[in-house]
């Protein structure tokens, strides 16, 4: 991990080197999948 500075703000550590990063399209696909599959509540699960 790298200890980086962003302008005048405090240093931060991120996991980009370990986990990588997504393109805008990949992030949109992931968010769409989550919204379609995990954001719905199944009433039968609560019986």
The span from the CA of 38 to the CA of 35, in Å, is 6
Over residues 35-47, the pLDDT tens digits come to 888 878 888 988 8
Domain span holding position 18: 10-41
Over residues 1-44, the pLDDT tens digits come to 455 555 677 777 777 777 778 899 999 999 999 988 887 888 89
The span from the CA of 18 to the CA of 3, in Å, is 14
Residue 3 is predicted with a pLDDT of 53
Residue 32 inside a domain? The answer is: yes
- Total domains, the chain: 1
Residue 1 is predicted with a pLDDT of 47
Residue 33 inside a domain? The answer is: yes
Residue 28 is predicted with a pLDDT of 95
Report the candidate in 6, 8, 7 with the shortest Cα–Cα distance to residue 16: 6
Model-wide pTM > 0.85: no
Residue 30 in contact with residue 39, Cβ under 8 Å? no
């Amino acid at each position: 991990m790298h200890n980086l500075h962003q302008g005048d703000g405090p240093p931060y550590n991120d996991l980009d080197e370990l986990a990588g990063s997504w393109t805008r399209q990949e992030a949109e696909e992931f968010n769409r999948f989550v919204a379609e599959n995990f954001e719905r509540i199944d009433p039968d699960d609560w019986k």
